[in-house]
Amino acid sequence: MPRDFAEAAGCRSDLVIGREESFGAAREQLSRGGSVLLHGPAGIGKSTVLRTLAAEYARSAHTVLRCSATESESHLPFLALADLLGLVLDDVAHALPAAQRTALESALTGRGESTLQRDGLALRLAVLSALRALADAGPVLVVADDLQWLDPASAELLGFAARRLGDTPVRLLCAVRTEGPETRDAAYDRHLRAAPPDTRAVRLGPLTRAQVSTLLDERGYTGLHRSTVRDIHRTSGGNPLFALELGRALAESPAAPRPGEPLPVPTSLRALVLSRLEMLSDEARRTLLVASAGARPTPALLHAAGRENAEAETAQAAALGLLAPDPEGPAVRFAHPLISAALYAEAPAPERRAAHAALSTAASDPIERARHLALATTGTDPRVAARLAEAAALARDRGAPSVAASLGLLAARRTPAEGTPGPDERRLTAAEDAITAGEPDLARDVAREVLTRATAPGERVRAWMVVIEAAGQAIGEVDAVFPQALADAGDDPRLLALVHYQLAWRSLVVQGDFAQGREDAAHAARLAARGGDRRTELLALAFQAQSETLMGHPDAAATIRRALEEPQDARVACHHNGAGSARFRWLVMSDRLAEARTAVTALLREVRRRGMAESEVHYLRFLAETELHSGHCGRALELSRESLTLARDAGIGEGAGVMQGALAEAAGGDPERALELAREAVRRTEEDGDAVYLSRALAALGHAHLVTGDAAAAVGALRRVRELEAGAGITDPARGRWQGDLAEALVRTGHPAEAMDVIEVARAHALRLGRRSVLAVLDRAEALVRAARGEHRAAVARLTSARERLAALGFGLEEARAVFALAELHAERPGRTPEAASYDEAARLFRRCRALPWLRRVEAAVAARTAGPGPVAAAEPDRLAGLAAMERQVAALVMEGSTNREAAARLFVSVKTVEATLTRIYRKLGIRSRVDLIRLAAGAHGD
């Protein structure tokens, strides 16, 4: 690899992105005293991970030996050995027998004639003895990068010693380049055999698109369109080094890449991957250029494009490693996407156009033919523009809005200024496709460009609408757009309807005013009907229906029926802001979970077919919510994680996804992770000024605090929810279902009167709206109030009734919580022994729901009732009283002598969660370590 290229793209050793799993595996192995062999292709990040691990574990080693081989020096014998042992030779020489010392000194200094052939045994034993002598003074860490360039003599000696170290405290941390997928190659096997027997091989694979995006952002290559990041990820194959070089080339380029056209490939990458092209014939190179220009090249396509000897020429390229066999068929597949991109970038422009011209007639797919025709043409051409617009419409119908956006922008560039439709009209259609595809940054930039020159009111208002849509939940950031859009709309009812529909969203998101949002939406629907714009009318009616549902307005059901009346617009019907979504929300809030699941599953299937990325994010979240209510916590966790991954990847709907992720983690995953996500959700919504989701995020935070046993923190978060929803005019308690949690937390913190007030207010609205599941949850909360007042018989009756009603409605998790509350009530009754059967029933129901955090709470409660006073109960009760439930459980296990890993296994949480919990315990108790915690237990027992 050229030196300037390596330095330009070198990674900071303290920055490891997308390597959490690999890094964790290596860290675990090193912490056990084992050795690690990192492997993967060039540029995949092995050196970055190796440097980070070495820096972390060097602090615990007495001696650190390092070497980093290079290809240019691999012919020099004993060079790597000199790097490793040269500086410590004086420290160990006295411990070596004379023959070993002489052989090693000769090899390291070059003053003698030592060779493996002449001094082989002495040298091998000398390296082994030297490592053992160093280990006598303390642990040794050997760090070796680029093992593939190690000189053969050093590799042989190091391998001999490594295989014979046994229990000697010497750890090897090495990295070697291997090619191909997970299958082992000869080099990998050779290096693994040369490592200690307990070595763990850790392969570093490609980064995901979201990880590539994070890496580019960290390096300062920000502001790239999502479509550009997608192209970087595809071209780099997820290789971080290649991705950074592509990002750097784009940052240094005076013009941004145009959608639909290949990325520029920097000279450094071309040189890296195209060195073997010189061995190809000219005709084979032309054939590969045609293949690189095609989307899915096959031998048949190459023949149709005029490459008569395609089979022989591609076979020649495959023999040189430029092409790889395709397991799925006869396609011509490049060994790495970067080879194709570099080959295309290296070709002169006339040759590229000729390749596209050949493919424009050879390709069978009309979309591909149109794209090639555009790339084979220079300047404007109305015939080509029309072909591209037709292809964009076809891509849109196929559910590929991102492709439609790229083709639409190509069509705009080929459209003459005086054409009909004009170039800006085609740009706006492409921007609307980009919004559908979840590429708001591209859509916004296109719309802003149109606004710099458009004068027609229709085009200007359309462009303003794209700018507003691209803002997403951060609609408050584009407040200045609305007066300009209203001015451009004039008195045209169609244009005014568009603006007032967006004003409805502004009232809801920015001001948190559901009543005003409802009025704006109703006004927009009337304007759209007057102007004959059925699409906007349907969207406005759906918004009005959503608002009325959440407000508990009596007209909600009627408005939903109006929004579902024919004629319908197919894309609006399945849109996450359309009538289907409004109906789903109404079904969930009306306790019709089975119908809600059927409805949202159908909507999800349709938006996936149409490629509507943002709607897919939301419908995955809706389905997760439905499964959570149904008590299918494991499935809800899977869906919420899928939704959040897609949201983060696309950069859309993240706040809502994080909020739902927190609820799912609290129910079926890791409560500490739930707290982390809930705090992120609150932070995001506050930063965006999103009044709609702020209360939902705070409700998720309060719930997570309650699950972790921190009732006081739960009260703080949920009181804010009560204030926000009261101010917004939200009266339906089924919207966020937080009232039961707040009442329970208030009881646990000694505020039963306030808890009863919360219950009575919510109950009045639930009775008015017929929210049966909410009424049952409120009864469960009231039972806790009555129990706190000593009214045990009434409390038991309430809980029993609530359990039965929740079971009948299919709210499995809430049913299990009622049974758990009943078990605790029985266990706490004066003069009564604990009723294990009640706890057993709660555990059975939580297990059925896969509600692991709740199951752990049941187990902790049983342990506390049956074990009698333990270390936590005995050791300074006043100091431990302030710990949350999870903190008390962790403290108890540590006091009993459990390691962090053992505690994590017994509590069904991660080691990281135990570590974080211990940190909070230390802070609350004013101590510094687990030793101090154990001393608390010992001191209490001594008392």
Q: Which residues does 520 contact at the CB level (< 8 Å), separation at least 6?
A: 500, 501, 503, 504, 507
Cis peptide before 197 (omega within 30 of 0): no
pLDDT at 426 over 80: yes
**How far is C-alpha 168 from the geometric centre of its chain's CA atoms?**
41
pLDDT at 324 over 50: yes
Cα atoms found within 13 Å of the Cα of residue 282, Cβ hemisphere only: 1
Comparing C-alpha atoms, which of 457, 751, 772 is closest to residue 588?
Answer: 772
Confidence at residue 459, expressed as pLDDT on a 0 to 100 scale: 95
What residue has token string 């699950």? 707
Contact 659, 700 (CB under 8 A): yes
Contact 518, 553 (CB under 8 A): yes
Average pLDDT over residues 341-346: 87
pLDDT at 732 over 60: yes
Of the given ranges (705-709, 782-786, 914-918), which has the lowest mean pLDDT? 914-918
pLDDT at 507 over 60: yes
| Tokens (6 digits) for 413 | 């560039």
Mean of per-residue pLDDT scores for the chain: 86
- Can you tell me the distance from the alpha carbon of 524 to that of 494, in angstroms, rounded to the nearest whole number? 9
Comparing C-alpha atoms, which of 464, 474, 555 is closest to residue 501?
Answer: 464
Residue-wise pLDDT for 595-635, tens only, equals 999 999 999 999 999 888 889 999 999 999 999 999 999 99
Contact 399, 616 (CB under 8 A): no
- Can you tell me the distance from the alpha carbon of 11 to that of 244, in angstroms, rounded to the nearest whole number? 9
Confidence at residue 817, expressed as pLDDT on a 0 to 100 scale: 96
Confidence at residue 652, expressed as pLDDT on a 0 to 100 scale: 77
Contact 697, 685 (CB under 8 A): yes
Average pLDDT over residues 469-483: 88
Q: What are phi and psi of 173, to 5 degrees?
A: -120, 105
pLDDT at 6 over 80: no
Name the pLDDT band for 733 (thresholds 50, 70, 90).
very high
Region class of 850: left (phi > 0), else alpha (psi between -120 and 50), else beta: left
Residue-wise pLDDT for 759-790, tens only, equals 999 999 999 999 999 999 999 999 999 998 88
- Can you tell me the distance from the alpha carbon of 330 to that of 813, in angstroms, rounded to the nearest whole number? 51
pLDDT at 516 over 50: yes
What residue has token string 């005293």? 33
Percent of the chain with pLDDT over 90: 48
Cα atoms found within 13 Å of the Cα of residue 749, Cβ hemisphere only: 21
- Can you tell me the distance from the alpha carbon of 290 to that of 307, in angstroms, rounded to the nearest whole number? 9
Residue-wise pLDDT for 536-565, tens only, equals 999 999 999 989 988 888 899 999 999 999
CA 506 to each of CA 159, 438, 457, 464: distance values in angstroms, whole numbers, following the listed order: 67, 20, 22, 14
Name the pLDDT band for 693 (thresholds 50, 70, 90).
confident
- Can you tell me the distance from the alpha carbon of 719 to that of 706, in angstroms, rounded to the nearest whole number? 13
Cis peptide before 752 (omega within 30 of 0): no
Comparing C-alpha atoms, which of 286, 47, 340, 264 is closest to residue 173?
Answer: 47
Residue-wise pLDDT for 643-676, tens only, equals 998 888 767 778 889 999 999 999 999 999 999 9
